[in-house]
């Protein structure tokens, strides 16, 4: 059962609605949908919200440590609440999936994602769930860092929000760890 959902992103207004902040956007949608309020939690170097989904308490976290240092915040929350890595779901942007696709998986490497790399290092485990939010790759010859840190178009933002709305309908099963519910969720065009 998932007890902690972490959305990866970078704090600050300049990073709002960038592709790299897809994880922040997802947990913000969750908090809004379940009427949970974000609270600054300096002891965790992040913002926390708590909600109830299908009768289970769920903690939401947005690390305020910047993407590449997310593991510090995640590790502190896991230890404080005594959650196990397998009770963790990390929502993050995924270059290898086209925009409009979300996949849920458990376990695996970091695939070059620095936020995941830091979490794995701090919790000493790869055994956690990942909600991979497709952002696609930049055009050939374009810089990946510039691409992920650039603002999404209004059409892309709208598509992402529609995708998250579909995902909200599955959250009870996702919390239970039912990978089949979101093995691949695709927004129809």
Positions marked catalytic: 20
Are β-strands 56-63 and 4-7 bridged in parallel, bridged antiparallel, or unpaired? parallel
Where residue 112 falls (left for φ over 0; alpha for ψ -120 to 50; beta otherwise) is left
Q: Could you tell me which residues come within 8 angstroms of residue 158 by beta carbon, excluding any fewer than 6 positions away?
A: none
What are the start-end ranges of the E strands in the chain? 4-7, 39-41, 46-53, 56-63, 88-94, 101-106, 129-134, 185-186
Encoded tokens for 50: 């708590």
Residue in 21, 95, 27, 12 with CA at minimum distance from that of residue 61: 27
């Amino acid at each position: 059962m998932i007890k902690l959902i972490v959305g990866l992103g970078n704090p600050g207004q300049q990073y709002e609605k960038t592709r790299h902040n897809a994880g922040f956007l997802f947990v913000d949608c969750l908090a809004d949908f379940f009427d949970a309020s974000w609270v600054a939690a300096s002891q965790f170097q992040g913002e926390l919200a708590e909600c109830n989904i299908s009768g289970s308490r769920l903690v939401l976290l947005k690390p305020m440590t910047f993407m590449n240092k997310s593991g510090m915040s995640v590790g502190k929350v896991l230890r404080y609440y005594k959650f196990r890595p397998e009770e963790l779901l990390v929502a993050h942007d995924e270059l290898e999936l086209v925009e409009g696709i979300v996949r849920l998986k458990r376990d695996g490497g970091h695939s070059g994602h620095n936020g995941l790399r830091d979490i794995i290092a701090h919790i000493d485990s790869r055994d956690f769930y990942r909600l991979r939010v497709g952002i696609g790759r930049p055009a050939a010859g374009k810089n990946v860092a510039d691409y992920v840190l650039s603002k999404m178009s209004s059409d892309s933002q709208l598509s992402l929000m529609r995708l998250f709305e579909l995902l909200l309908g599955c959250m009870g099963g996702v919390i239970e760890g039912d990978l089949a519910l979101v093995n691949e969720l695709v927004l129809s065009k």
